[in-house]
Amino acid sequence: MRPTCLCCFLLLALLIPHRATAQKVAPEFLQQPWPAAWITQPTGDAEAYGVHYFGKRIELAAAVDSFPVFLSADNQYALFVNGELAARGPAKGDLDHWNYDRLDLAPFLQPGTNTLVARVWNAGDYRQEAQITYMTGLIVQGATPQSARVNTDTSWAYLQDDSFRPVPVSVYGPRPDMIGMYGYYVAGPGDWVEMARRVDPRTADPTSWVPARVVSYGVPRNSVGMDAREPWRLQPSLLPQMGRTAERFAAVRRASGVTPPAGFPARPVPLVVPPRTTATLLLDQSYLTNAYPTFTFRGGAGGRVVLTYAEALYEEDLRTKNNRNDIDGKVILGRQDSLFTDGSPRQVFTPLSYRTYRYVEVAIRTADDPLVIEDITAEAVGYPFERRARLTGADPAVEALLDVGWRTARLCAMDTYMDCPYWEQLQYIGDTRIQAMVTLYNTGDDRLVKNALNLMHQSRQPEGVTLSRYPTNIKQIIAPFSLWYVGMLRDYMMYGADREFVQEQLFGARQVMDYFAGFQAADGSLVNLPNWSFTDWVEEWPRGIPPMGPRGQSAILDLQLLLAYQNAEALERELGMAAFAEQYRNRAEQLATTIQAKYWNAGRGLYADTPEHDTYSQHANTLAILAGLVGEEEMPRLADRLLTGEGLSPASIYFRYYLHRALVRAGRGDDYLSWLDVWRTNLDLGLTTWAEDSNVAGARSDCHAWGSSPNVELYRTVLGIDSASPHFRTVRIEPHLGALRKIGGEMPHPAGTIAVDYDLDAGRATVTLPEGVTGEFIWEGTTTPLSGGTNAVAL
């Protein structure tokens, strides 16, 4: 069972604006060195793992209406003002694009004495792969003369919290010195904490600490008139503070060594673990979440508590999960926090970074002192999206698909998009293109989309190709993902509002296209493209690489390049760059001719994967349709083959985004609701988010938002709402209702909201467009013009 009411509360609560609101940046802070300095620990290795506190007290004669500051840290910070958590950050970037948050601290300040304490932690060699770093550091810059009183310098005090150590995670299974899992895990360590030595930032007094050490002054990325050597080049973050809301565990699913009292853990009911006892509790959130759990307990001197976080429990092979609701005979494996209790009357633990979990095992071993768990709570976190898209009159099963897809998209969106929140937390281009479309169709909030495109743009290597994911501290190139970056930029041009932003990105897209041109043979076909050519997780494709001929020739790679040329042409033409547009059009025409000659098998009515015509896939034929290569005569037969999949390597849940677009292009959109078998399998197996691949029972990750494409297509395909020109200036509405008789819905548009309502029994449709927006409605071969406001259309 999924606790719908609690989930709805979570999603709504995350929409509440945070009190530390973003502030505008005056030109001098964008162009000149800051008066504030980066500060760090006075002694020791500032590049090593460590948890650090920086503090300052100020006096205010009266309450203030505004107290704007800019704040950043390396790696991460949590700022407490007068004992209250005010902000977390910064958003991840690289040293040349280091983000700072713009905050107004006035809501947290009071007349008299005010205490600011920043916890800064550096994961050192144990850091997650998405974290780029230089050294431990903190910078606070006041944006006004009044708030400049908190500028970081040696007046800030420092204290090291040496109660923390990292708990590493092995990706090759359990080891004596490491927590182990089977799968690629790079999301950072757990926390090992001696509670007796832990610093509480809510009550810490910095007046007895030692002075911090100045590293260098803050320098903006676009500083004017100097050759800055400072390591961090500062830029204002595009993003707001993450949303936060309280949530509680739903139930104890199993217990040993102790009997949980009635109401625990849904309510703050104390649970007593007697002396010399080994006890285990398996807590079930009942749905997957990203949260900071907080464990409040007392006593237990000499004891230990180990917390293990998991998306699901495993069968005995430690790889298969099967139904996520089932726990009998299963074991838990995952990231851990390890707490050494000190016997004091109030001990509180919250991990340094959020944890992703549905299940949490609490393993307790007491010595001679009983341990009393006073309460277990959590604070869910995530990008503060507002869900503005909705269906009306839909079947509950369809609504369930939307809700699970939305939760998946939410959990894979923080300060960047992420492929998955538990295992990697990396922003891959292939995943992000689909996630961005989910964002635009469901929220209209383009900030995280633009942030992602910026990061991909910044990841480009000197030769022009982007990294596969960014930010990352380990270089990885998936060359075809660079082509999807060009496609994603065109997506933003079609659905986003910011034309100037697209123009700023354009030269990066050109460099990507130039890179691929260097690997084209005389006929335009790609030859021996270097690096990882991942396309999709297909069982018979090693490492997701499609079949290739002797010289690395591949229909799937050529077709992705062809689509990129078409997307690049559209971008250039819209922005008035006719010469570039013509160049890309000519290259596309040559490549299309080559693909048709090299890969089309007329006898089979299919595009082969290789020049030898020895393998076939849904992927090659999907891309051929999307590239406009398939004529009207061949389209019905090809669409039939794609639907049956007979003799074709199958598309996974990820690549079905493209497969379904191709089938709609082939005229089969009325069947869309019948194509969602793998999503229904997820629901049948108890998932509350979409699994990474189509092997749902054994998927590594239980939360991959590249599977959330129904949250686009139920609006774009079924309701038929689509952009007909750049920046959604005009609208094309062509519903594919299939067996549906009544349905409606709405979605965000840069100028407002688009709403539709279809009633086939009454023979009518109502379409409402934002004022000033025009479009067309297409139904059974008839086109009806649409204008801003409410339009009535006969069906």
Please state, in angstroms and rounded to a whole number, the distance separating the CA atoms of residues 242 and 88. Answer: 8
Residue 8: per-residue pLDDT: 38
Instruction: Decide if pLDDT at 733 tops 50.
Output: yes
Return the percentage of the chain with pLDDT > 70, whole number.
96
Q: What does the buried/exposed string (b/e) look like for 697-718 if buried means 16 or more CB atoms within 10 Å of the residue's CB?
A: eebbbbbbbbbbbbbbbbbbbb
Give the fold, CATH level 3, of 4-10+244-382.
Jelly Rolls (2.60.120)
Do you find a cis peptide bond into 90, omega within 30 degrees of 0? Answer: yes
Please state, in angstroms and rounded to a whole number, the distance separating the CA atoms of residues 212 and 623. Answer: 57
Calculate mean pLDDT across residues 44-65: 98
Residue 228: per-residue pLDDT: 63
Calculate mean pLDDT across residues 332-358: 97
Q: What is the full DSSP assignment across 25-89? A: --HHHHHS--SSEEEE-SSS-TTSSEEEEEEEEEEESS--S--EEEEEEESEEEEEETTEEEEEE
Q: Identify the bridge partners of residue 121 per DSSP, sorted by sequence position.
A: 51, 76
Q: Identify the bridge partners of residue 413 per DSSP, sorted by sequence position.
A: 417
Instruction: Decide if pLDDT at 459 tops 60.
Output: yes
Largest pairwise CA distance in the chain: 86
**How would you write 237-291 as a 3-class SS string?**
CCCCCCEEEEECCCEEEEEECCCCCCCCCCCCCCEEECCCCEEEEEEEEEEEEEE
Alpha helices in 324-474 (DSSP H): 396-411, 429-442, 447-458
Please state, in angstroms and rounded to a whole number, the distance separating the CA atoms of residues 549 and 615. Answer: 11
Asked if the 394-481+680-718 domain carries CATH number 1.10.10.10, the reply is no
Q: What does the block give as tokens for 746?
A: 């709405």
Instruction: Decide if pLDDT at 1 tops 60.
Output: no
Please state, in angstroms and rounded to a whole number, the distance separating the CA atoms of residues 93 and 72. Answer: 11
Please state, in angstroms and rounded to a whole number, the distance separating the CA atoms of residues 189 and 192. Answer: 9
The string of pLDDT tens digits covering residues 68-86 is 999 999 999 999 999 999 9
Instruction: Decide if pLDDT at 230 tops 80.
Output: yes
Instruction: Decide if pLDDT at 18 tops 90.
Output: no
Calculate mean pLDDT across residues 78-98: 98
Please state, in angstroms and rounded to a whole number, the distance separating the CA atoms of residues 121 and 440. Answer: 34
The string of pLDDT tens digits covering residues 363-422 is 999 999 999 999 999 999 999 999 999 999 999 999 999 999 999 999 999 999 999 999
Instruction: Decide if pLDDT at 225 tops 90.
Output: no
What CATH architecture applies to the domain 20-163+199-239?
Answer: Sandwich (2.60)
Say if CB 503 and CB 575 are below 8 A apart. yes
Calculate mean pLDDT across residues 740-756: 98
Say if CB 113 and CB 32 are below 8 A apart. no
Hey, how many other C-beta atoms are within 10 angstroms of the C-beta on 469?
Answer: 29
Comparison of pLDDT for 738 and 224, the residue scoring more: 738
The string of pLDDT tens digits covering residues 299-336 is 999 999 999 999 999 999 999 999 999 999 999 999 99
**Cα-Cα-Cα-Cα dihedral sign, residues 355, 361, 362, 364:** negative
Instruction: Decide if pLDDT at 9 tops 70.
Output: no
Q: What does the block give as tokens for 286?
A: 């009942």
- Tell me which amino acid residue 335 is: R
- Provide φ and ψ at 738, rounded to 5°: 55, -125
Please state, in angstroms and rounded to a whole number, the distance separating the CA atoms of residues 177 and 92. Answer: 29
pLDDT, mean over the chain: 95
- Provide φ and ψ at 293, rounded to 5°: -75, 145
The string of pLDDT tens digits covering residues 535-592 is 999 999 999 999 999 999 999 999 999 999 999 999 999 999 999 999 999 999 999 9
State whether residue 545 is helix, strand or coil: coil
Q: Identify the bridge partners of residue 337 per DSSP, sorted by sequence position.
A: 307
Please state, in angstroms and rounded to a whole number, the distance separating the CA atoms of residues 84 and 769. Answer: 44
Within this chain, domains 394-481+680-718 and 720-795 share the same CATH topology: no
Calculate mean pLDDT across residues 689-701: 97
Calculate mean pLDDT across residues 453-465: 98
Return the percentage of the chain with pLDDT > 90, whole number.
94
What is the separation of C-alpha 731 from the centre of its chain, rounded to a whole number of angstroms? 28
**Cα-Cα-Cα-Cα dihedral sign, residues 721, 574, 502, 24:** negative
Tokens 């800055």 correspond to 228
Please state, in angstroms and rounded to a whole number, the distance separating the CA atoms of residues 57 and 772. Answer: 53
Comparison of pLDDT for 599 and 230, the residue scoring more: 599
Do you find a cis peptide bond into 695, omega within 30 degrees of 0? Answer: no
At 4, the pLDDT band (50, 70, 90 cuts) reads very low
Instruction: Decide if pLDDT at 21 tops 70.
Output: no
Please state, in angstroms and rounded to a whole number, the distance separating the CA atoms of residues 194 and 181. Answer: 25
Residue positions counted in the chain:
795
What is the separation of C-alpha 714 from the centre of its chain, rounded to a whole number of angstroms? 21
Residue from 353, 350, 359 nearest 250 by CA:
359
Residue 224: per-residue pLDDT: 80
For the whole model, what pTM was predicted? 0.95
Distances (CA, A) of 577 to 73, 496, 568, 573, 581: 41, 20, 11, 6, 6
Q: Of all helices (H) and strands (E), which one includes residue 215?
A: strand 213-217
Instruction: Decide if pLDDT at 193 tops 70.
Output: yes
Residue 11: per-residue pLDDT: 36
Please state, in angstroms and rounded to a whole number, the distance separating the CA atoms of residues 436 and 440. Answer: 6
Say if CB 67 and CB 146 are below 8 A apart. yes
Return the domain boundaries, the chain: 4-10+244-382, 20-163+199-239, 394-481+680-718, 519-675, 720-795
Instruction: Decide if pLDDT at 17 tops 60.
Output: no
Give the fold, CATH level 3, of 720-795.
Maltose phosphorylase, domain 3 (2.60.420)
Residue 7: per-residue pLDDT: 38
Q: What does the block give as tokens for 211?
A: 């002075």
Residue 171: per-residue pLDDT: 77
Instruction: Decide if pLDDT at 179 tops 80.
Output: no
Asked if the 519-675 domain carries CATH number 1.50.10.10, the reply is yes
